[in-house]
């Protein structure tokens, strides 16, 4: 069974995978179906890893929006015909940079 450290590392790695293509900008994201799929898949990984973290770890770090990440995962996984690419891009652009810093800090503290 994977421990919380491994799950946090999964989140960080998924963010880094998204970062590799996010630097191409919103236009590339909007025009490239593969990048869209890459982003949504890695956001699902982030949400799934967040969901499977122990409640103790989530409770110790209320500065991280665990419920928002889990909710995003649920939408991307179960409502894939209703995915709003504007929301996906906003999450990548506005939420992931601070999430990356928070997860890295949590990993350093373990």
Q: Which of 2, 5, 78, 108 is catalytic?
A: 78
pLDDT for the residue numbered 69: 96
Domain region containing 74: 4-109
73 has catalytic annotation: yes
pLDDT score at 39: 98
Instruction: Let me know if 61 is a catalytic residue.
Output: no
Specify whether the CB–CB gap between 102 and 63 falls below 8 A.
yes
Confidence of residue 84 (pLDDT cuts 50, 70, 90): very high
Share of the chain above pLDDT 70, in %: 100
| pLDDT 10s digits, 40-70 | 999 999 999 999 999 999 999 999 999 999 9
Q: Measuring CA to CA, which residue among 103, 12, 3, 101 is closest to residue 52?
A: 3
- How many domains does the chain contain in total? 1
Question: Which pLDDT score, from 0 to 100, does residue 82 have?
Answer: 85
């Amino acid at each position: 069974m994977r421990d919380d450290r491994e799950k946090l590392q999964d989140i960080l790695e998924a963010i880094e995978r998204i970062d590799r293509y996010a630097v191409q900008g919103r236009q590339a994201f909007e025009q490239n179906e593969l990048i869209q799929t890459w982003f949504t898949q890695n956001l699902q990984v982030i949400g799934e890893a967040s969901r499977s973290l122990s409640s103790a770890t989530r409770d110790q770090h209320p500065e991280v929006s665990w419920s928002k990440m889990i909710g995003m995962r649920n939408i991307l996984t179960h409502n894939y015909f209703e995915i709003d690419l504007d929301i996906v891009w906003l999450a990548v652009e506005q939420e992931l940079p601070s999430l990356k810093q928070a997860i890295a800090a949590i990993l350093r503290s373990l």
